[in-house]
Amino acid sequence: MTLIELVEKQARLGALMDASRDDVLAYMDFPREHWAQIASTNPLERVNREIKRRSDVIGIFPNDEAIVRLVGALMLETNDEWTVARRYMSLESLARVTDTTTVRLSAVAT
């Protein structure tokens, strides 16, 4: 079944596909070297594994706030790690995507 046949057979699906075209193809506005990283869920899976690992160590949380504190601390730790140590995309390649000529990380800005 071709795309045109599918759209003709499923009008609502066709309308949804037309409406979401810009969102689905937004990754193409980035440099080609970023496409694999944009499509990958590896960083998210890594964070989820770390949350599971650390929460399994604790076992039972006394209240919801304790869970929020643990996950929040892990998110801050992950953000710091990826901002400085494990930069997922180079600053040079990100500079081509921004309007500014100089790209700096807020944690390292002078």
Kindly state the average pLDDT of the residues 28-56: 87
Residue 35: inside a domain: no
Q: Of 27, 26, 34, 29, which Cα lies nearest the Cα of 92?
A: 34
Please check whether residue 47 is in contact with residue 53, taking contact to mean a CB–CB distance below 8 angstroms.
Answer: no
Alpha carbons within 13 angstroms on the beta-carbon side of residue 92 total 1
Asked whether residue 58 falls in the same domain as residue 110, the answer is: yes
Residue 106 has pLDDT above 80, yes or no: no
Task: List phi, psi (to 5°) of 72.
Answer: -60, -45
Domain enclosing residue 2, as ranges: 1-30
- The residue type of 43 is P
Q: Looking at the 3D structure of the chain, how many domains does it have?
A: 2
The pLDDT value given to residue 100: 59
Asked whether residue 50 falls in the same domain as residue 99, the answer is: yes
Asked whether residue 47 falls in the same domain as residue 99, the answer is: yes
Computed over every residue of the chain, the mean pLDDT equals 81
Which pair of tokens denotes residue 82? 């990826």
Asked whether residue 13 falls in the same domain as residue 55, the answer is: no
Q: What is the pTM of this model?
A: 0.55
